[in-house]
Chains A and B, each alone.
Chain A
């Protein structure tokens, strides 16, 4: 079974600085997808970034980028120039295609606080 581990329950960073959230996963699959989602106090789960496992290039979305290490099964998220609005729970998730559906497995999340 796939598992996703986020080893940092809470983190904090000063506004404008850079922070990295860690995520590791366990799978025997070769083709899969990885995601980072953000959940602010408003509760909605918002997609931050998506990575295809067969692509070696790390995904980037504006201030958000990932360090994807397939052999190590590591998928960390880097947030540059942190902003107060980045304060949220961040969830790492693994997806694979199975029998006509696509299943997401989530980690427990990291609570990020951006301090002014």
Chain B
């Protein structure tokens, strides 16, 4: 399925670098999500955007900065990261209704991030 595309696939950066992760969805959804997946831990929800407005931020460190310019694109800007931030970062999208309909989230392939 190519409905959710993430770039780059791999990223190696130093702690002082600034980089951005990109996510694009072609499914016509109105909500997008960033998740962090670390070894032996459950997926952690980082940010939620619904209708281009951030509706949830799970107390993520400020060195992670999301941006959602429209309903199809989502970015995660990174700066001054720490070694413990090395992980797989997954983007997802879904269609959300006000009354709640439990529509599944569709995921991209993720960006494998390594902090030196």
A residues adjacent to B (C-beta < 8 A): 4, 31-33, 35, 37, 42-47, 50, 52, 91, 95-97, 99-109
Contacts and interface: CB of A to CB of B under 8 A. Distances in A.
B28 to A, nearest CB: 16
A106 B108 CA distance: 17
Interface stretch (B19-27, B36-44, B69-77, B78-86): B36-44
Given A100-B96, A104-B45, A108-B41, A44 B102 contact: no
Interface residues of B, number: 31
B96 A102 contact: yes
B45 A33 contact: no
B105 A104 contact: yes
Contacts of B94: 102
Summarize B's interface: helix, strand, loop or mixed. loop
Contact of B1 (A44, A97, A108): A44
B100 A107 contact: no
Interface in B87-115: 88, 90, 92, 94, 96, 98-110, 112
Contacts of B110: 43-44
Interface of B: 1, 31, 40-43, 45, 48, 50-51, 55-56, 88, 90, 92, 94, 96, 98-110, 112
Summarize A's interface: helix, strand, loop or mixed. strand
21 contacts: A31-B100, A32-B102, A35-B104, A43-B109, A45-B92, A46-B1, A50-B102, A91-B43, A97-B99, A97-B100, A99-B55, A100-B51, A100-B96, A100-B98, A101-B50, A103-B56, A104-B45, A106-B42, A108-B40, A108-B41, A108-B42
Contact of A102 (B43, B100, B106, B108): B100
Nearest to B95: A102
Contacts of B105: 102, 104
Contacts of B112: 43
A104 B104 CA distance: 9
A43 B37 CA distance: 11
A96 B102 CA distance: 7
